[in-house]
Each structure stands twice: as structure tokens, then as C-alpha cells.
Amino acid sequence: MSPTPFRAADSTSINNIGKAVRVEGRIISREDIFVDGQVEGSIESPESKVTIGPNGRVKATLSAREVVIIGAVQGDVTASDKVDIRKDAQLEGNIASARISIEDGAIFKGSIDIRKPEPKPSPVAPPQPVAASAPVAAPAPPIVVNPPAAAAPAIKR
């Protein structure tokens, strides 16, 4: 058994794909991702940030809360918050995001669709318990507004 205690991943964890790594397929993560290697396929991290490092070469669709591109990307990029394209970056693909930043010197070929940020869902209040009520009485008889005229009794003389 290792003397090092187990430490659960926290929200600041970053998954690295190093320079010597090549990935083909679909990457899905709930943590930040740093790609400095090669990826072909798709990268999805809807709650976190995806950074394509200076050595990163990506042929994939990217979908994340925030996307930072320093290397080269071929594919569409969707970010719920922001896309940041740095000065030495190359992006060939369409962008859909609430905010975008493109530094001088970056190469970009594609279209940009600026979307309103998605509203954060408000917490739903749990249903309130229903208070116990008194027993329900039998329904009242129907009310007759214009009763039909009763046959008049015959009068004998």
C-alpha cells in the first residue's frame, strides 16, 4: 500500500494531453483539459475550460464552457462562455460563443456566431408538503334554480 494518502480530485484539476500523446476518438471531461499533443475526433467539457497548447494540433469539434487556442485547430468550436484565440494560434472552423477574443497575429478562417449566454437555471424550490385536512363531506345535492311546476291537485266541490 502506498504511504501517499488518496486525494480526491478538486475542481481545479487539469487533465493534460502531452506533446508525445496522440488521441483518436471522443474525449469527455468535467474538468479542465490542456492539449499539447494531437487529437482527432471531439473534445467535450461543458462545465470547464479546454486549452489547446502551443504544440497542440487538433482536428476535432470542441465544446466547452471556455476554449483557449494557442496551437492549431481544424474544426468547429462551441463555448457557452468565451473563446480566446491567442496571437500564434490557427483556427479553421466556425465559432459559436457568448464572447470572443482574437489577438493580433492569430489566423482565423470561418464564421462567428455570437450567442447570448445561457441563463443559469434557478434552483427549484422543493414541493411543500400538503397539510392534513378534515375529512371531506359528501357532496351537497344540486341546487335547482327554477323547479318545474308541480301538478296542481284537483279540487273537488
Q: Which three cell numbers stand for residue 100?
A: 470572443
What mean pLDDT is predicted for residues 17-37? 93
Which has the closest alpha carbon to 83: 47, 49, 58?
49
Render pLDDT for 82-133 as a digit per residue (tens, 0 to 9): 999 999 999 999 999 999 999 999 999 999 999 987 666 666 656 666 555 5
SS3 102: strand
Domain locations in the chain? 14-104
pLDDT for the residue numbered 20: 87
Would you place residue 5 in the very low, low, confident or very high pLDDT band (cuts 50, 70, 90)? very low
